[in-house]
Each structure stands twice: as structure tokens, then as C-alpha cells.
A and B are shown apart, each in its own frame.
Chain A
Amino acid sequence: MEIVNLAVLPEVTSAGVAIKAIIILAIISAVAGFGTFIERKVLAFMQRRLGPMHVGPYGLLQIAADGIKLFTKEDIVPQNANKLIFKIAPSITAATAFIALAAVPVFPDFTIPEWIPLLGGVFVPSIAADVNVGILFILGMMAAGLYGPLLAGMAQANKWGIIGSARTAVQFLSYEVVTGLSMLAPIMLVGSLSLVDFNNYQDGGFTSWMIWQQPVAFVLFLIAGFAETNRTPFDLLEHEAEIISGFATEYSGMRWGMFFIGEYANMITISVILAVVFMGGYNDLGFMAGWFIVVFKIAFFFFLMLWVRASWPHIRPDQLMWLSWKILMPVAVVNIVITGIVMMI
């Protein structure tokens, strides 16, 4: 069956992969910038404020103003900091976020129409790098991304930074187990680690979505995903009210901006994983085309993160550890055992 499919599909050329990589980089960094604007507007709406209004219509040009500010701001490196590590840290966050996106299928395969000059007829695959172990690769890369905050906090010779990086380690060691274990039950059902197989497993319409078979895994992964992207309620690393700005205290200008591009790219990655693994992926739904509906699913999860930020307070680090190790991990293990028993029967 698979061999037949492979024969029908056009060959994946390096030009196609390069185009896909450029699409990912361009769209995601643009969306990440736009995401900051959306976040401020949504939070303002939920808190009965107006949000940014002065630059451009409805404050739309605020992104451009912020960009100019970030790029032209003086780049300060503290005197006693470990300068090399201090400069490397932001690029770790941004780079790993985009490397993780390389293995994410966002849109279905498509071929560029023949009438477009130069690139006509090039086949663009749905994934830039179709590794067989896609889901593990993405989670591993996002985990490696936490080295950015960790190194930033330790390199800057600032007490708030040290506390921020200690919290990074705490947060990583808490949620990482839950992410892996909650994802294990869907992996057992599908029998593959490839995100394309996850998508094809759910091609039977609305009722075949993974969320109906694995509601517990969905909730667990959603909670772990919030911790993975450092979103409120688990916004421990740079908890403004307690530790100034945590790992980002000494950063300014574009180095600071790279942390946030990485964070928003990670939010999009988690939204895509939730959409592809649990919510039917980019399969057609009724009369709506797959690429169209998947954008809505991703946007919904992105909105959910902002919604939660507006509704929930921060929690303390010890509460996060308690939640992860004493509640979420046992529930995830029980979920795996029950899934295994049901599959064997």
C-alpha cells in the first residue's frame, strides 16, 4: 500500500524542500510578530481596555513601530557577564524553535502551477524534513530550546537571572515527563511516530478525531504544552511580579526580541501538534478543504493560550512540581495502562 503511494507521489526535490523552508521561516516569523499584536488586543478586549490604538488604524502598525524600536535599541552586554554565552543564548531559543518546525506538517503537499516562471512544476512537500520519528524530534528540539533561558540566566551575572534559570531547570524537569507520557498513548494507537501517519489515522471525518479516543491524553498534553511554551499559568521563568524579568532581565534590543520570536514560534508548534495529533490534522472536513480548516484549528489553540493568560493567575514553582509529579504523571501512566489493556482486548 505504502509503496504504491510512494510511486504516485512526485519526487521531493531539494528545490521543493528549500521553498518549504523559506515558507516556514517567512510565514512563522511574520505570524510570530503579528502574534504579539493579537495577544495585546485579545488581552485588552478581555480586560475591557482598548489595547494599542495610536499607531495606524486600530493600532495595526504597532508591530512595525515595535520592530523599529527593537532593531535600533542599544544592545547592552553587562560588564561581568560571560559575554560569549550571553550572546549565544537568544539564538538557541530562536533557532531550536524553527528547527522543530522543520518536522511539522502544516499544509498538505502541493505542486506549484506550471505558469509561474522559474519555479513552475516544483513539488513542495508538506514537511521540510520528513523524519520517521517526527513527534519525538519536535518534542526533543523544543526541550533543547529551554537551554536559551537557562544559559541566559546563568551568563548575565544577575541574581534575578540566576533565579530565572533555576526555575527553567525546575520547569523542564517537571513537565518533560508529562509531555512524553501523555503523547505515548496516541502513539500506541497509531503505531507510528510520524506526524503524517497521525494525520492519515484520522481521515475518517469528525468522529475519527483522536480527541474522542484519547481525551485524557489531550488534556494532559495541553497542560504540558502550556508549560513547554512558558505561557501563563506556568509563566515561571520571567514572572514580572516576583523576579523582575527572570532570565531576560539584562537583555535589550534584538537579543530580547529573539527570545520572544522563539516563544511565539513554539506556541505555533504546540498549536500545530495539538491540531494534527488530536483534532484531525489537515484532513478535509465536510465541504471545507483541509488546508483551510487546519489554519482555523491552529488559530483556535493560539487563541486558547491568550484566553487562558487573561483568565488564570500565575502559579508558584512548587505548585507546578506538585501538579506535574503528583497528579499529571500518575494520570498519564494510568491512561497508558488502560489504553494498552483496551488495545490487547
Chain B
Amino acid sequence: MTLHLEIPEETFAAILAKAFRNTAFVTGFVITLLILAMALASYVWTPYDVTKLVISDKTQGPTLAHWFGTDHFGRDILSMIMVGARNSIAVALVAVGIGMGVGVPLGAFAAARGGLVDEALMRINDLVFAFPALLSAIMITAIFGPGAINAIIAIGIFNIPVFARVARAGALAIWPREFILAARAAGKGKTQITIEHVLPNIATLLLVQGTIQFALGILAEAGLSYLGLGAQPPMPSWGRMLFDAQTRMTVAPWMAIFPGMAIVITVLGLNLLGDGIADILDPKSRRQR
């Protein structure tokens, strides 16, 4: 007899209990929740109005009135970070949505069909993949004009091949399994099998990839708005705040430090969350923990 170290499928409660013992997951989860709460709070309340310029208060360091200081127009940096979070999260979220919405069906379809269709789809995929994502995003926004919507589309397009690949690889591992053969013998078509059996079995894989792409999307959005190709003023965004701070680094370092920290902490939080989910759901890491 070989050693059948069978990995029991777990109940939801058991997974949850394990999730809260996983430090990476808990830290990531808390950070993500805080950032989300901050973005949502900005709809109803911010310490100051971010569209109002108060030149008399310009470039003040952190004080009790302005915790994170003010920028060169006298706007409160804390308020700007709160409103900017909205923008970052919205862009990254919709971009991940586009990537998943198009990429997953594409990858699952390629895996189900196989043969030439699969080959052709994946080579087109490789082509998109081969472009440096940020550079091409710059190109797209340069052609269609800067703005949050175009940034979403640009980042979204480059998420498609990532999800297509992950979905295809996952689906290819599921297709040769016997329960798929059993479903085929029961007369089910490929679409139905994909929806009923393949997708639920690769869902965790996609969830992990989703959090990673979300973090990358936030970075990409910051990059684009740093170049002035993202959300346009007066809408504040983390990337442009960094751009504004660049020339004033020596006189007003807080203008760069706080938005920079916002980006770092958000990306870190999302990556920890993704790592945590992967650890919890990956059967191979279970025994070590």
C-alpha cells in the first residue's frame, strides 16, 4: 500500500478557522479592509474638501489640523489620499473584472476545444502578453486621450492574457480527470461540463490570481496617473500626487511620503491577501503549517 495521505476536502467553517490562523492572510485582509473602508468613507466625509484650494495653507507639514500636511495648493493630503483610494480601487477592480470576464471564458474555451483553436487563441494571447503592459497602456491612453476610463480599458486589456493563461492551465489539469469522462458519458456537452465541473474546480486558482492582478492594477494606475494619463484633475489620484511632490521633495517631503506609503501599503496588503489565500487553499502547503 502506498501512503495515501489523503487531503480531506474541508468545510467552509474549517477553512475559515484556518484562514484566521494564517498571519499573512489576516494582515492582508485587515489592510485591504481598511483601505476599502477609507475609500467608502470618502464618499460621505473627508476632513477637508479636496476641490477647494486654500493658498494660505499651502505646503504645511503635518499638524493637528492637517495630519498628513497640505500640498502646494493648500489641499489636505489625508483627504486627497482618501478620495484617491476610490479612484485607484475602482480602476484596478474594473480592470480585473475585464481581465477575468474576457480571459477566463477564453482560456476555458481554449482548453475545452483543444487543437488548432486552442493553439491560435493562445498564440494571440502570447502576442498581447509580449507587449510591455505599461508601455502599451501609455500608448492607448496617448491615442484615446487621458482619463480614468481609458486607463481602465488599457489595464484591463493586459489582464486578459494573464487570466486566459491561468484558466487554461487550470482547466487542462481538470479535463483528463475521470469525473469529466463520467460527465461526458452522461451525455453532457463541453459548455455544460465547463460551467458545472471545470470552473468550480479552478475558482480558487482564479481568486488568487485576481488579488495579485488587483495589486498590479493599483500600481499600473498609479504609474499612468503619475504620467498624467490617468484620472484628470480636480479628481485627486495617488500617482499624480507623487508627480506633484517630485519637484518639492526637499521642501515638502510629506507630499511624497504619504501617497507613496498609501500605494505601498495597499499593494503589500493585497499581495499578502493573495499569498494567504493561496497558502490556505493549496493542499501542498497544508502539511507544513
Task: Judge: A and B partners, yes or no.
Answer: no
**Residues of A bordering B, CB below 8 Å:** none
**Residues of B bordering A, CB below 8 Å:** none
